[in-house]
Structure 1
Amino acid sequence: MSWSAFLSKQSLPPVAATPYLAPATHLAVVRASGEEAGHYLQGQLSCDLREVDQGAHLTGMHLSLKGRGLVSVRVVRDGADYLLLTPSGQEEPLIKALMKYRLRAKVEFTLAEELAVILLAGNLPDTLPGPGQALRNDQGLWLRYPHTEHALLLASSEQAEVIWSQLASQHTPASANSATLADIEAGVGMIYPGAEDLFLPQVLNYDVTGGVNFKKGCYTGQEVVARMHFKGKLKQRMQRIDFTANIALQPGEVLRDGAGKAAGEVVISANTANGSAALIVLRRDTDGILFQEETPLNSQLGTLPYPLPWKE
């Protein structure tokens, strides 16, 4: 039975108490291979591939010339290759964007359809690497989150059902919603379909999480990003909100404050046990009371697992 067929036969709750596991089907995987893959990606992504080569996994963006994220990835080394985890629906745009500047570079990009991605929350195995690090074992390639007790497992699709059953002995199975919720809890913002060309890396807090490096050298959009870092002052950053209104939020959607003014844009949202949570790019002065047009979200500011470095 295929991994997707196995999941379709499961009756999984949208939310489960920690510890839990969930299929991270909100992510797709692209493989970058070839002897110049690392060098090429270093010039296309905002993060520093040298840290990835030393065992880390990092978020990063491929930017427009205006410095806004067109696509985003979590990049990790897999032998001689690199794996790029990107929001589902963005895998083809990611390949197209990275191929644009390839010319004669010895690098190829392919969909890694042979891999299944599983999210583990709480009660992480003792054999996992340290926060922000990656490690391969007999189950697959593990990526431990840097700020929270979450980890991703990239496993062979052929073995995913067996591994799922093993992990389920100590973790409650939950649906893909819980994997998205884990990213919200971890403060991991990415460029989802509908939010392309909106956000600087710093706006999604990549300067906090290692997703942008200001010393690595040139990459597409680097000048705008560096200018904001060294000379500018951000007026908005990604924050978490919790809300109880029965409203579906879409990536890139504009939310408003009580005066009807634009307060920020949606990054991603998910259901919680008591309503919903979302990552929203918000103005610094926003109180967290937000509206979808004139409909109140019944929202309040939540917390992120890392501090935000607002400049005075």
Structure 2
Amino acid sequence: MSAWSDFIASQSLAATANTPLLAHCDHLAVIRASGEEAGHYLQGQLTCDLQDIDHGAHRNGMHLSLKGRGLVSMRVVKSRDGYLLLCPADKAEDVIKALIKYRLRAKVDFQVDADAVVLGVAGDLEGTGLSVLPAAGESHCNDHTLALRYPHTEQMLLITHGEHAIKLWPQLAANRALTGANGWLCQDILAGEAMVFAGAEDLFLPQVLNYDVTGAVSFKKGCYTGQEVVARMHFKGKLKQRMQRIDYQAAIPLAPGQVVRDANGKAAGEVVISARGSDAHHALIVLRRDTDGILFADDQPLDSKLVGLPYSLPWKE
């Protein structure tokens, strides 16, 4: 085991926590994209615009199938020697396989950074003690730590390495509840920030995950795989469903890609992700616009309700 593994094993991490909190985000992996053509190559593979990222932003992005559905997703940020791609840890190899499929002779390489540590901070960001806090939706490198601040909520991801994480943890942990992956998934759900998790591959257009609201899909940049389908829906189509948040009381874990139904037994949508909170389960689910939030899973009532997101959904009439 590494020194970081030994250290984090000695910490008492609760399954759930209220803000302010510090989370060990071991459900996320970091992939390094390097090479002189890395930016150009990623621009032609992902839904987000690398020009925004080159100017200090961080964005979620999808790699799509030919029919415009997300196969894998990742959060992209510029690093000193290329780009970092944060993705679900159990999808890291799938991300690399998807991205190298069209590489041919392009001068770009992808490798999982096994020494990278991802931490999440929510609430009281001014109290983190970092020398510089990035603006909303932006990133900033503090010493050995790359900070990625969320655009709509008081949350921030920190990417560092094991040795520095051990030094940084006590500073960040002061006056914060400590939690792990489930605790941070709850924060992502509250923020309306979604990725493609195992089980939900090839299901969702970027827009239905609200990527058009969060800057994770561009309709102005050049072509990428699946772009024609995505653009056609944006300019000529009408979305009948979008990702929304529900809270529910039933003791049922909802799996990515799982179908949920309304009171009449009709399919109402598919689960993006769910997590157990301190007082309820939280979930992001792609739902029809007319859904009232009263949902069932396998004929079992979820005792659920719709809860607003921290941004507005641009439904088209």
Q: TM-score range by the shorter chain?
A: over 0.9
Runs (4+) of structure 1 exceeding 3 A deviation are: none
Partner-residue secondary structure (3-state), 2:212: helix
Q: Corresponding residue for 2:48?
A: 47
CA displacement, residues 228-267 of structure 1 (integer Å, 9 cap, x when unaligned): 0000000100000000100011101111111111111111
> Do the aligned residues in 2 keep the contact of 1:242 with 1:275 (CA within 8 Å)?
yes
Task: Give 5+ residue unaligned stretches, structure 1.
Answer: none
CA distance in 1, matches of 2:180, 2:100: 34
TM-score calculated relative to the size of structure 1:
0.98
TM-score calculated relative to the size of structure 2:
0.96
> Do the aligned residues in 2 keep the contact of 1:139 with 1:163 (CA within 8 Å)?
no
Is it true that 1:166 corresponds to 2:171 in the alignment?
Answer: yes
Is it true that 1:128 corresponds to 2:133 in the alignment?
Answer: yes
In structure 2, give the amino acid aligned to 1:204: L
Q: Corresponding residue for 2:222?
A: 217
> Do the aligned residues in 1 keep the contact of 2:206 with 2:212 (CA within 8 Å)?
yes
In structure 1, give the amino acid aligned to 2:288: R
CA distance in 1, matches of 2:306, 2:151: 22
Q: Corresponding residue for 1:24?
A: 25
CA distance in 2, matches of 1:101, 1:175: 35
> Do the aligned residues in 1 keep the contact of 2:26 with 2:180 (CA within 8 Å)?
no
Q: Corresponding residue for 1:91?
A: 92
Which residue, out of 296, 306, 309, partners 2:311? Answer: 306
Is it true that 1:200 corresponds to 2:205 in the alignment?
Answer: yes
Superposed displacement of residue 166, structure 1: 1.4
In structure 2, give the amino acid aligned to 1:11: S
CA distance in 1, matches of 2:98, 2:282: 31
> Do the aligned residues in 2 keep the contact of 1:260 with 1:293 (CA within 8 Å)?
no
Partner-residue secondary structure (3-state), 1:170: coil
Partner-residue secondary structure (3-state), 1:280: strand
CA distance in 1, matches of 2:202, 2:9: 34
Is it true that 1:285 corresponds to 2:286 in the alignment?
Answer: no
Q: Corresponding residue for 1:34?
A: 35
RMSD: 1.1
Partner-residue secondary structure (3-state), 1:58: strand
CA distance in 1, matches of 2:250, 2:3: 37
Partner-residue secondary structure (3-state), 2:141: strand
CA distance in 1, matches of 2:252, 2:307: 17
CA distance in 2, matches of 1:7, 1:310: 44
Q: Corresponding residue for 2:16?
A: 15
Q: Corresponding residue for 2:234?
A: 229
Equivalent residue runs for 1:110-129 within 5 Å: 110-125=111-126, 127-129=132-134
Is it true that 1:140 corresponds to 2:141 in the alignment?
Answer: no
Q: Corresponding residue for 1:72?
A: 73
CA distance in 1, matches of 2:89, 2:308: 26
Superposed displacement of residue 296, structure 1: 0.5
Aligned residue-pair number: 312
Identity %: 63
Superposed displacement of residue 282, structure 1: 0.4
Partner-residue secondary structure (3-state), 1:217: coil
In structure 2, give the amino acid aligned to 1:300: K
